[in-house]
Amino acid sequence: MSDADASADDYVRTAEEVENARQDVVAVNNADEPQGLVNRLDAHTGDGVRHRAFTCLLFDEDGRVLLAQRAARKRLWDTHWDGTVASHPVEGQSQVEATEARLEDELGVTPDQYDDLEVTDRFEYKRHYLDEGVEWEVCAVLKATLHDTTLDPDEAEVGGVLWADYEDLWENPRHYRQLRFCPWFDIALRRDLTGEADPEAGGPRE
Is 19 labelled a binding residue?
A: no
C-alpha torsion sign, points 148, 152, 156, 160: positive
- Determine the pLDDT at residue 131: 86
Q: Is residue 205 part of a domain?
A: no
Q: Is residue 201 part of a domain?
A: no
- Determine the pLDDT at residue 202: 87
Specify whether the CB–CB gap between 145 and 116 falls below 8 A: yes
Q: Is residue 111 part of a domain?
A: yes
137 is catalytic: yes
Query: Strand pairing partners for 66?
Result: 163
What distance in Å separates the CA atoms of residue 139 and residue 141, rounded to the nearest whole number?
6
Specify whether the CB–CB gap between 138 and 52 falls below 8 A: yes
Residue 117 confidence class, pLDDT cut points 50, 70, 90:
very high
CATH number, domain of 68, equals 3.90.79.10
Q: Is the pLDDT of residue 136 over 50?
A: yes
Provide, rounded to the nearest whole percent, the portion of the chain with pLDDT above 90: 86
Residue 80 Cα to chain centre, angstroms:
11
- Determine the pLDDT at residue 5: 46
Specify whether the CB–CB gap between 48 and 41 falls below 8 A: no
Domain span at 158: 3-193
pTM: 0.89
Residue type, 126: K
Residue type, 85: V
What distance in Å separates the CA atoms of residue 20 and residue 147, rounded to the nearest whole number?
34
- Name residues whose C-beta falls within 8 Å of residue 4's C-beta, 6 or more positions apart in sequence: none
Q: Is the pLDDT of residue 2 over 50?
A: no
**Pairwise pLDDT comparison (16 vs 102), residue with the higher score:** 102
Residue 70 confidence class, pLDDT cut points 50, 70, 90:
very high
Query: Strand pairing partners for 114?
Result: 146
Specify whether the CB–CB gap between 54 and 99 falls below 8 A: yes
- Determine the pLDDT at residue 21: 64
Q: Is the pLDDT of residue 6 over 90?
A: no
- For the residues 161-170, what does the mean pLDDT come to? 97
Residue type, 118: E
Mean model confidence pLDDT for the chain: 92
Q: Is residue 200 part of a domain?
A: no
Q: What is the DSSP letter of 180?
A: P
Residue 70 Cα to chain centre, angstroms:
10
- Determine the pLDDT at residue 141: 98
- Determine the pLDDT at residue 15: 56
- For the residues 56-78, what does the mean pLDDT come to? 97
Q: Is residue 198 part of a domain?
A: no
Is 175 labelled a binding residue?
A: no
Phi, psi of 173 (to 5 degrees): -60, -25
- Determine the pLDDT at residue 59: 98
Lowest mean pLDDT among 14-18, 70-74, 155-159: 14-18
Is 44 labelled a binding residue?
A: yes
Domain count, the chain: 1
Is 80 labelled a binding residue?
A: no
Q: Minimal CA–CA distance to 144: which of 200, 191, 203, 102?
A: 102
Q: Which of 100, 124, 137, 157 is catalytic?
A: 137
Is 124 labelled a binding residue?
A: no
Is 167 labelled a binding residue?
A: no
